[in-house]
C-alpha cells in the first residue's frame, strides 16, 4: 500500500503525520518532540543544521540561521514582505536572478524553496526513521491565504527534497479534516481559527456525509506570534533605552537575546499573570560597563501591547463569516489551531466574537499535519469516503486597458475550477495578444500579485476585432493556476503554466535536486562513519584490555598475537583521527580479527 505522509510546513514549527491502522498519528522526531522548529542554519564548519539543533545555536550564529523563511517564500524582491524581513531578520537577504529574494549563508546563496526543502527533507527523515522506509509522497499544507506564487514555490521545495507532493492543502482545511475524521455522522458548520508564528487564517466549512466544503477563507500573511513577540521586544527596548540611553535592537547579539526572552515571556504569560525577564550582561558599553536587563511583565500589560493585533484577527473573522453568507449564530463549533491560540486573550476574543467556547477537540500543534495525512490517504486509498471541497482564496483575473483588474474567477470559488474568456484584437493587423494574469482582491491590477504574462502569437492579420482568442483559466485542486489559449480560427492551442516570474527555472531546480542528493549521500556516509567510529572506540578499549591481560606471557604465539594487536590499535587510533571511511573500515576489520585471536588464546 502506498503511504502518503502529511507535512505541516509551518512558519515556526513543522510536524509530520501518517495514517496508521486507519488512525492519523503524529511522528515524533529523534529528540522525542512532535514538532520540529522550522529553522535552518549553516554552522561555521559548513555543516547544515535543522530543527532543534539549529534553534539551539541561533543566538550565537544569528547571521547564518534562517527562521520564518515561509514569510519570504514565493515573494518578489522589493515586495513589502521582503522589505520587512530585511529590516527585522539577522540573516542577509539578497536579490536573486529572477527578481526573487535569496538568503546568503556563509557565502552561498540559497533560494527560498531550497531552504524550505531542507525542512521538508528533515520531516521526511523523521518519517523514514519511524516507517522504516523512505516515504515518496506527501501532502503538504500552506496557509489558506497563500497565492499561486507561494504555492508553486512550496511545490518546488518538495521537488528539491525528492518528495512527490501529491497535493497542497490549506492549513485550516487540514485542521478541519483532523477534527471531522472518523465522525461519520458529523453535520456541522465550523470555523477554524489558525494563529501561528507568522500567519493568520480563518476558514468556514460545512462538514456533512464526509464532505468538507470550504465556504470561505480569509487571513493575513503578516499576522502571527512573531508580531506579538515584536511588541514585547519594542516595549523592553524602549524601557531600557529610557534608563540607559542604549538601543538594544542595534546590537545583533542583544537583539537575539531579547527576541528569545520575549517569546519565552509571551508563552509564560499564557499560564501566569506575571513573568520575570532577566537578561544579565545584555550590553557592554564602550566604557566597559556591563548593563543588565531585569524587569517584570504582567499579562495585563502584554495584552495592552497587542490589543490591536487581537482585534485585527477578529475583524478578519467577520469578513470570513460574511463571505460565507452566514451569521456567527450559524457556526456550530470553533476550532483553534496554532501555538498562539494558547494565549488566553486570544481565546477570549474568539469566544466573544462567536458567542461560544472554542472546541478543545483538536491539538493546536498537531491537527494540521494529522489532517494532511488524512487527505493523503483519502487520495490514494479507495476506502476513504472523504472529499475536500476547498476554495481559492483570491480572485484571479487579468489586467485590462488602463491598468484595471478584471476578475475572471472570484475569491472563494470552489476548486478545481476553470473559466473561459474571449479576447479580441484591438488594433488592425495585430498578430499577437498579451495577457497579464494577476491574483488578488484590488481593483487596480498592479496592486495584486503578478502571476505571469504570456503572449499568444501567430494570429491572422486582420482588422481590429476580427480575430478571437479563447483563453481558459484553470485552478487545480492544489490551488495552482494554469492557462490555455486557443486561436478560435485556426484551433491552435497554447498551454501555459503561469509560472511566477520569480520562480526557479527548470535548470536551477535540476541543479538543486542534484546538490541536495549529493548532500544526502554525504549525510548518510557521515552517519555510517559515525557508527563505525563508535564501534571502533569500543573495540579499541576491549583489545587494549586483552593485550594488558596477555602481555608478558612466554608463548611466542601469544607474543605475536599481542604485537599484531598493538599494531591494530595503533592503526585504529590513526584512522579515528583521519575520518577516512576506507581507513576506518580496514582498521576496524583488523581490530576485530585481533580481538578474536586474543580471545581464543585466553581460553
Partner 1 sequence: MLDDNVQPIPVADVDYKNLKVQPTPEDYFLLSRVNGKVTIAEICQISGQPRDTTHASLKRLVEAGLIRMPSPEPVAASAPNFGAEAVGGEAAPESVAAPVAPAAPVVADTRWDGWPGEPETHSMEPGLLAQGVDLDDAFKTEVSFMAAHLSSVSFYELLGVARDAGRKDIKGAYFKTSKRFHPDRFYGKDLGDIQPLVESVFHAVNKAYQTLSHKGKREEYDGTLSTTSSSPSSETNSAQPSSSSQAAPRPAPTDRKREMAFGVLLRQGEKHEEAREFAEAAASYKKAFGIKHDAAVAMRGANLLRRLDGEDFVSEAVLMAKAAAQQHPADIKPLVLIGDIYEENEDYADSLRYYEKAQELEPDNQSVRKRIEFLKKLI
Which residue ranges make up the site for Mg ion (CB under 5 A)? 10, 196, 338
Q: Tell whether residue 10 is a contact of ligand ADP (CB under 6 A).
A: yes
Q: Which residue is nearest to ligand ADP (CB)?
A: 225
Residue among 51, 158, 180, 338 that touches ligand ADP (CB under 6 A): 338
Between residues 10 and 135, which has the closer beta carbon with respect to Mg ion?
10
Residue among 3, 4, 5, 12 that touches ligand ADP (CB under 6 A): 12
Helices (H), 181-288: 225-244, 252-268
Between residues 98 and 342, which has the closer beta carbon with respect to ligand ADP?
342
What is the distance between the alpha carbons of residues 338 and 127, in angstroms, rounded to a whole number? 22
Evaluate whether 277 touches 233 at the Cβ level (below 8 Å).
no
Q: Tell whether residue 116 is a contact of ligand ADP (CB under 6 A).
A: no
Q: Tell whether residue 452 is a contact of ligand ADP (CB under 6 A).
A: no
Q: Tell whether residue 13 is a contact of ligand ADP (CB under 6 A).
A: yes
Instruction: Name residues whose C-beta falls within 8 Å of residue 586's C-beta, 6 or more positions apart in sequence.
Output: 571, 575
State the binding partner of 12 from partner 1, ligand ADP, Mg ion, none, CB within 5 to 8 A by kind. Answer: ligand ADP
Short-list 514, 420, 545, 405, CA closest to 474: 420
Short-list 364, 478, 369, 377, CA closest to 126: 369
CB of 487 to partner 1, least distance (A): 18
Backbone region of residue 403 per phi and psi (left: phi > 0; alpha: psi in -120 to 50; beta: other values): left
Phi then psi dihedrals of residue 180, to 5 deg: -90, -10
Q: Tell whether residue 342 is a contact of ligand ADP (CB under 6 A).
A: yes
Residue among 65, 170, 203, 270 that touches ligand ADP (CB under 6 A): 270
Evaluate whether 493 touches 484 at the Cβ level (below 8 Å).
yes
Q: Where are the beta strands (DSSP E) in 144-269?
A: 164-170, 187-195, 200-208, 211-220
What is the distance between the alpha carbons of residues 445 and 398, in angstroms, rounded to a whole number? 7
State the binding partner of 342 from Mg ion, partner 1, ligand ADP, none, CB within 5 to 8 A by kind. Answer: ligand ADP
Which residues are at the interface with partner 1 (CB under 8 A)?
166, 206, 208-211, 213, 325, 378-380, 385, 387-389, 413-414, 416-418, 477
Between residues 100 and 206, which has the closer beta carbon with respect to partner 1?
206
Between residues 27 and 540, which has the closer beta carbon with respect to ligand ADP?
27
State the binding partner of 65 from ligand ADP, partner 1, Mg ion, none, CB within 5 to 8 A by kind. Answer: none
Q: Tell whether residue 198 is a contact of ligand ADP (CB under 6 A).
A: yes
Q: Report how far apart, in Å, the C-alpha atoms of 448 and of each of 223, 321, 599 are.
A: 19, 23, 77
Evaluate whether 171 touches 143 at the Cβ level (below 8 Å).
yes
Catalytic residues: 8, 70, 171, 194
The interface region with ligand ADP, picked from 182-190, 263-271, 486-494, 517-525 by CB under 6 A, is: 263-271
State the binding partner of 220 from ligand ADP, partner 1, Mg ion, none, CB within 5 to 8 A by kind. Answer: none
Short-list 590, 566, 573, CA closest to 533: 573
What is the distance between the alpha carbons of residues 165 and 6, in angstroms, rounded to a whole number? 10
Secondary structure of residue 447 in the 3-state scheme: helix
Instruction: List residues near ligand ADP by CB under 6 A.
Output: 10-13, 196-198, 224-226, 263, 266-267, 270, 338-340, 342-343, 365
Amino acid at each position: 500500500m502506498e503511504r502518503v505522509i502529511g507535512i505541516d510546513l509551518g512558519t515556526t514549527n513543522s510536524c509530520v503525520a501518517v495514517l496508521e491502522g486507519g488512525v492519523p498519528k503524529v511522528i515524533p522526531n529523534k529528540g522525542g518532540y512532535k514538532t520540529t522548529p522550522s529553522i535552518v542554519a549553516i554552522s561555521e564548519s559548513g555543516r547544515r543544521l535543522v530543527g532543534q539543533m539549529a534553534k539551539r545555536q541561533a543566538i550565537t550564529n544569528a547571521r547564518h540561521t534562517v527562521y520564518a523563511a515561509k514569510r519570504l517564500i514565493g515573494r518578489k524582491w522589493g515586495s513589502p514582505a521582503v522589505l520587512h524581513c530585511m529590516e527585522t531578520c539577522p540573516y542577509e537577504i539578497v536579490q536573486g536572478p529572477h527578481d526573487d529574494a535569496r538568503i546568503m549563508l556563509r557565502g552561498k546563496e540559497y533560494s527560498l524553496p531550497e531552504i524550505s526543502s531542507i525542512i521538508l527533507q528533515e520531516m521526511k527523515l523523521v518519517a523514514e526513521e519511524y516507517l522504516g522506509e523512505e516515504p515518496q509522497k506527501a501532502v503538504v499544507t500552506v496557509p489558506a491565504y497563500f497565492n499561486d506564487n507561494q504555492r508553486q514555490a512550496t511545490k518546488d521545495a518538495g521537488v528539491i527534497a525528492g518528495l512527490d507532493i501529491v497535493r497542497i492543502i490549506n492549513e485550516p482545511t487540514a485542521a478541519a479534516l483532523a477534527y471531522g475524521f472518523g465522525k461519520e455522522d458529523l453535520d456541522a458548520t465550523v470555523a477554524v481559527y489558525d494563529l501561528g508564528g507568522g500567519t493568520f487564517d480563518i476558514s468556514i466549512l460545512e462538514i456533512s456525509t464526509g464532505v468538507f466544503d470550504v465556504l470561505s477563507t480569509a487571513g493575513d500573511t503578516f499576522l502571527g506570534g512573531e508580531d506579538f513577540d515584536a511588541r514585547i521586544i519594542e516595549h523592553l527596548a524602549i524601557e531600557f533605552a529610557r534608563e540607559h540611553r542604549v538601543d538594544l535592537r542595534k546590537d545583533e547579539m542583544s537583539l537575539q537575546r531579547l527576541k528569545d526572552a520575549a517569546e519565552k515571556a509571551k508563552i509564560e504569560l499564557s499560564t501566569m499573570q506575571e513573568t520575570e525577564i532577566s537578561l544579565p550582561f545584555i550590553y557592554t558599553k564602550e566604557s566597559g560597563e556591563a548593563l543588565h536587563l531585569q524587569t517584570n511583565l504582567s499579562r495585563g500589560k502584554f495584552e495592552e501591547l497587542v490589543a490591536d493585533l487581537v482585534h485585527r484577527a477578529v475583524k478578519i473573522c467577520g469578513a470570513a463569516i460574511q463571505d460565507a453568507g452566514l451569521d456567527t449564530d450559524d457556526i456550530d463549533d470553533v476550532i483553534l489551531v496554532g501555538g498562539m491560540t494558547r494565549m488566553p486573550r486570544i481565546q477570549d476574543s474568539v469566544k466573544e466574537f462567536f458567542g461560544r467556547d472554542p472546541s478543545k477537540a483538536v491539538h493546536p500543534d498537531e491537527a494540521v499535519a494529522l489532517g494532511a495525512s488524512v487527505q493523503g490517504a483519502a487520495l490514494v486509498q479507495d476506502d476513504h469516503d472523504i472529499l475536500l471541497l476547498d476554495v481559492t482564496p483570491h480572485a484571479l483575473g487579468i489586467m485590462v486597458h488602463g491598468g484595471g483588474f478584471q476578475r475572471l474567477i472570484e475569491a472563494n470559488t470552489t476548486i478545481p475550477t476553470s473559466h473561459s474568456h474571449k479576447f479580441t484584437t484591438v488594433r488592425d493587423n495585430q498578430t499577437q495578444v498579451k495577457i497579464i494574469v494577476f491574483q488578488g482582491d484590488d481593483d487596480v491590477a498592479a496592486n495584486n500579485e503578478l502571476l505571469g504574462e504570456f503572449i499568444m502569437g501567430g494570429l491572422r492579420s486582420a482588422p481590429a476585432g476580427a480575430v478571437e482568442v479563447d483563453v481558459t483559466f484553470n485552478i487545480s485542486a492544489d490551488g495552482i493556476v494554469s492557462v490555455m489559449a486557443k486561436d478560435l480560427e485556426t484551433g491552435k492551442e497554447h498551454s501555459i503554466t503561469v509560472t511566477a516570474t520569480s520562480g526557479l527555472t527548470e535548470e536551477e531546480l535540476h541543479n538543486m535536486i542534484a546538490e541536495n542528493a549529493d548532500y544526502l549521500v554525504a549525510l548518510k556516509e557521515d552517519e555510517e562513519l559515525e557508527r563505525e567510529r563508535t564501534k571502533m572506540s569500543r573495540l579499541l578499549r576491549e583489545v587494549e584490555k586483552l593485550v594488558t591481560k596477555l602481555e608478558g606471557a612466554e608463548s611466542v604465539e601469544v607474543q605475536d598475537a599481542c604485537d599484531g594487536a598493538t599494531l591494530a590499535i595503533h592503526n585504529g587510533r590513526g584512522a579515528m583521527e583521519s575520518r577516512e571511511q576506507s581507513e576506518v573500515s580496514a582498521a576496524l576489520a583488523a581490530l576485530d580479527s585481533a580481538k578474536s585471536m586474543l580471545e581464543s588464546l585466553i581460553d
